[in-house]
């Protein structure tokens, strides 16, 4: 009997080692899920211009906060969709690169690099054909696997200087 047990022991140990590993840290899983949600917004909605995904990724109560802290847009008003359509008309080839993605609790911070060609009016500047390159920090708040709030920090002066230079 001991020989049988000794022969089966290595098989049992190997089978235990091959079993799928379940995460021991639900908080880590939530952070990764939140981070992926924010990155999907950039890669799918912005880079691929798949505006139909907005309802999938964002809470109906999504609020965007302006630089001065005021809530200026919400999903219900259609402001996010309108802004993205305006942005894509101005920069039809706009592409963001996610440089860093950091998640903590229900918050995600993205450090982004953006590049696009100015093809239509933007911020009062007529189409220049200029390549515009800028950095942006975007902060998200998540709840129930949806984006509920957003804050963006962009060097608007740098963007404007590239729109007017020849």
User: What is the per-residue pLDDT across 54-71, written as a single tens digit (0 to 9) for each?
Assistant: 999 999 989 888 766 665
Domain around 115: 25-164
Residue 17 lies in a domain: no
Residue 13 lies in a domain: no
pLDDT in tens, 12-49: 445 555 555 555 677 889 999 999 999 999 999 999 99
Tell me the CATH number at 141: 3.10.450.50
Residue 12 lies in a domain: no
pLDDT in tens, 90-149: 999 999 999 999 999 999 999 999 999 999 999 999 999 999 999 999 999 999 999 999
Residue 140 lies in a domain: yes
Burial class (CB in 10 A: 0-12, 13-18, 19+), 50: middle
Residue 159 lies in a domain: yes
Q: Measured between alpha carbons, how far is 78 from 82 in angstroms, rounded to an integer?
A: 6
Cβ count within 10 A of residue 37: 19
Residue 20 lies in a domain: no
Domain count, the chain: 1
Indicate the pLDDT class of residue 73, thresholds 50, 70 and 90: low
Total-model pTM: 0.80
Residue 6 lies in a domain: no
pLDDT value, residue 18: 55
Residue 5 lies in a domain: no
At residue 133's C-alpha, the angle toward residues 34 and 78, to 5°, is 50
């Amino acid at each position: 009997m001991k020989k049988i047990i000794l022969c089966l022991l290595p098989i049992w140990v190997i089978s235990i080692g091959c079993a799928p590993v379940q995460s021991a840290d639900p908080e880590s899983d939530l952070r990764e899920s939140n981070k992926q949600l924010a990155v999907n917004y950039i890669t799918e909605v912005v880079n691929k211009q798949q505006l139909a995904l907005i309802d999938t990724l964002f809470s109906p109560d999504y609020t965007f906060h302006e630089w001065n802290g005021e809530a200026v847009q919400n999903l219900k008003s259609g402001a996010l969709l309108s802004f993205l359509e305006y942005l894509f008309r101005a920069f039809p080839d706009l592409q963001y690169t996610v440089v860093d993605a950091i998640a903590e609790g229900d918050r995600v911070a993205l450090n982004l690099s953006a590049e696009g060609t100015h093809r239509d009016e933007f911020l009062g500047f007529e189409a220049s054909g200029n390549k515009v390159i800028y950095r942006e920090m975007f902060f998200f708040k998540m709840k129930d696997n949806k984006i509920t709030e957003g804050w963006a920090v962009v060097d608007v002066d740098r963007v404007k200087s590239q729109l007017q230079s020849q």
